[in-house]
A and B are shown apart, each in its own frame.
Chain A
Amino acid sequence: MSKSNKPKTLEEKLDLTKITTDHNYAHIEINPEICKAKCTTYECVYGCPANCYKFTEGEEIEGPVVFDYVACLECGTCRLVCPHDSVDWKYPKGGFGVEFKHS
């Protein structure tokens, strides 16, 4: 048992969750055009419990936010909080994605 009470980082926490990534299919996609044209509030960045949405660092080539589905916990928050319908949200294909064991 861990004797250390040092809090785990989000990355360390996400490492505990078993995720089978489907490298051929991104179950969630954002539309950078919409994000760039309309978004000033970035609800996805604040709402995501797995930090899949991050502010674009440096120059905004594509849009203000970058998204990676690999650590996605499939909660559904981003789909609901985006006021511009820029999040095309689907479930991963059967057998892929999170596989909770203790939740």
Chain B
Amino acid sequence: MSEEFDFDVAIVGAGPAGISAALTLAQAGIETVVLERGQYSGAKNVSGAALYGPILNEIVPNYWEDENSFERYLTTKKITLLSESKSVTIDADLRNFAQVPYNGVTVIRPKFDRWLADKAEQAGAMILLDTMVEDLVWNDKQVIGVKSGDEVLKAKLVIIAEGANNILVEKAKLAKKPKARHFALGMKETYKLPKKKMEERFHLDDKEGISNEILGYSKGIPGGGFYYTNQDTVSFGLILNMDVLTKKKLEAPEVFEEFKEHSYIKKLLKDAEMIEYSAHIIPEGGFKHMPKLYGNGVLVVGDAASMVLNAGLYIEGINFALESGKVAGEAAIEILQTDDYTKNQTKLYKKKLKESFAYKDLKTFRRASHFLENKMMFTYVPDLLTGLFEKLLRNNGYPRKRIVKSAIGYVFKKGKLFRLFKLLIGAVRSL
């Protein structure tokens, strides 16, 4: 095949996955172009958002030396269970995480993605903004480029990093249209909270941050709330399984508003001023529902490859995006040397990815998404635990029983013991 190529590699999407691939390729001197439909990197992107410091450090060494790279490093993780007028929180204060490269850092995507894109540009990658890739260019069964409007751009390899709405992955015949039950809708509000007030409210020192996952009080819809602290804003949101939401005939914006009526949330957001509203779908099908990761002339990375993990304690996408982008970049460098861009060579990407933490984590937690579809986790369990604490702590003038006896009695009285037992077995098997 003798094609004239404009670039060695064309990457669709300048999010963390696409940029991480571009950076890896550009650093190796490969002619790389990134096509981004937004006005800038991150303009279309919605996340919690936090990512792991050690992973970012691999991609941009000593990233923390640059003030614009992140908002706060995470030292506190809270898990909260909500029920009507009650809440129970586990508060893990982990000061060991306060050392570089930091365990986790919070980011604001339009800021972070732009910062990362700048790194790729400095390394020599070209980033075309305001450029929507509508289709792939084929030569027989081989992808040989991308199409934007009337423009055609030919490349030896195309890396699809288009995000969760993976239209091009379908066009590349690497996936069928996915099912709603494997996706969640995330709605998010960003609040302005002056730095001093934030640090007082959340007991943080300068640059320290907190993340909080919140289960329950979501109308029995699998999902949960979250908040992350940035420098002087709070990212707050609610994630809902879209299949259950629509089957229950509940309107998403209303479920979100009612969630915010809980006193736990109200206190959190008191006097904070909302400055942005956003929403996005989240692939939650996990390992079993990933598309094919490679084809003739094409590789798939990040959310476009459904590389998102929801294991309750962790809901991660950016880490896998960064890692899969890097691995795809490394694989592409080797593939380009062979001058063969068919599946015979592009399969190298999957082989390499299998060795990465991203693929291994998704595999380890492959049963988690199914487990977290169990509605008991979002209704019965928060009710049971918050109720139990109320029972143990309430003093109504009667002599008390021993704590353990009282607790066992309470759990028995709430019933559903067999299902609770099954749930525990499920947790042990999947998490």
Which residues of A are in contact with B by a Cβ distance under 8 Å?
1-3, 5, 7-8, 10, 13-14, 16-17, 20, 41-43, 45-51, 73-77, 79-81, 89-95, 97-103
Do the beta carbons of B275 and A94 come within 8 Å of each other? no
Do the beta carbons of B185 and A47 come within 8 Å of each other? yes
Which residues of B are in contact with A by a Cβ distance under 8 Å?
37-39, 42-47, 108-110, 129-132, 134, 148-149, 164-165, 167, 177-180, 183, 185-190, 192, 194, 233, 235, 242-243, 245-246, 248-253, 256-257, 260, 266, 270-271, 273-281
Do the beta carbons of A16 and B185 come within 8 Å of each other? no
Inter-chain CA distance A19–B29, complex, in Å, is 37
Distance between B198 CB and nearest chain A CB, rounded to angstroms: 12
Inter-chain CA distance A67–B271, complex, in Å, is 35
Distance between A12 CB and nearest chain B CB, rounded to angstroms: 9
Residues of chain B contacted by A51 (CB below 8 angstroms) = 251, 253
Smallest Cβ-Cβ distance to A93: which chain B residue: B132
Residues of chain B contacted by A42 (CB below 8 angstroms) = 249
Do the beta carbons of B276 and A94 come within 8 Å of each other? no
Residues of chain A contacted by B243 (CB below 8 angstroms) = 81
Do the beta carbons of A46 and B246 come within 8 Å of each other? yes
Inter-chain CA distance A23–B294, complex, in Å, is 37
Inter-chain CA distance A41–B37, complex, in Å, is 33
Q: Say whether, besides A13-B277, A77-B185, A103-B188, A47 and B271 are in contact (CB < 8 Å).
A: no
Do the beta carbons of A103 and B242 come within 8 Å of each other? no
Distance between B132 CB and nearest chain A CB, rounded to angstroms: 4
Smallest Cβ-Cβ distance to B281: which chain A residue: A76
Distance between A5 CB and nearest chain B CB, rounded to angstroms: 7
| 11 A–B pairs (Cβ distance < 8 Å), ordered by A | A1-B194, A47-B185, A73-B280, A75-B46, A75-B280, A76-B280, A90-B134, A93-B37, A94-B130, A98-B43, A101-B276
Distance between B213 CB and nearest chain A CB, rounded to angstroms: 18
Inter-chain CA distance A61–B299, complex, in Å, is 46
Inter-chain CA distance A59–B266, complex, in Å, is 41
Distance between B78 CB and nearest chain A CB, rounded to angstroms: 22
Do the beta carbons of B44 and A74 come within 8 Å of each other? yes
Residues of chain A contacted by B273 (CB below 8 angstroms) = 1-2
Inter-chain CA distance A49–B260, complex, in Å, is 15
Do the beta carbons of A46 and B245 come within 8 Å of each other? yes
Distance between A51 CB and nearest chain B CB, rounded to angstroms: 6
Inter-chain CA distance A2–B252, complex, in Å, is 25
Contact for B109 among A5, A92, A100, CB less than 8 A = A100
Residues of chain A contacted by B274 (CB below 8 angstroms) = 8, 13, 16
Inter-chain CA distance A42–B276, complex, in Å, is 28
Identify which of B148, B180, B274, B277 gathers the most chain A CB atoms within 10 Å of its CB. Answer: B277
Identify which of B110, B132, B187, B246 gathers the most chain A CB atoms within 10 Å of its CB. Answer: B246
Do the beta carbons of A41 and B246 come within 8 Å of each other? yes
Residues of chain A contacted by B178 (CB below 8 angstroms) = 80
Distance between A81 CB and nearest chain B CB, rounded to angstroms: 5
Do the beta carbons of B277 and A17 come within 8 Å of each other? yes
Do the beta carbons of B276 and A75 come within 8 Å of each other? no
Distance between A19 CB and nearest chain B CB, rounded to angstroms: 11
Do the beta carbons of A103 and B271 come within 8 Å of each other? no
Smallest Cβ-Cβ distance to A53: which chain B residue: B251
Contact for A100 among B44, B245, B266, B271, CB less than 8 A = B44
9 nearest interchain CB pairs?
A: A95-B130, A49-B279, A43-B246, A76-B165, A102-B190, A94-B132, A94-B130, A13-B277, A103-B278
Do the beta carbons of A103 and B46 come within 8 Å of each other? yes
Do the beta carbons of A100 and B257 come within 8 Å of each other? no
Q: Say whether, besides A45-B251, A75-B185, A94-B132, A3 and B271 are in contact (CB < 8 Å).
A: yes
Distance between A1 CB and nearest chain B CB, rounded to angstroms: 5
Smallest Cβ-Cβ distance to B278: which chain A residue: A103
Distance between B100 CB and nearest chain A CB, rounded to angstroms: 26
Inter-chain CA distance A65–B365, complex, in Å, is 39
Identify which of B43, B167, B243, B270 gathers the most chain A CB atoms within 10 Å of its CB. Answer: B43
Do the beta carbons of A102 and B281 come within 8 Å of each other? no
Do the beta carbons of B130 and A102 come within 8 Å of each other? no
Do the beta carbons of A7 and B192 come within 8 Å of each other? no
Q: A89-B165, A102-B276 are in contact. List 14 more A-B contacts (CB 8 A).
A: A5-B266, A10-B253, A17-B276, A42-B249, A43-B180, A46-B245, A46-B251, A73-B277, A76-B164, A77-B185, A95-B38, A100-B44, A103-B45, A103-B190
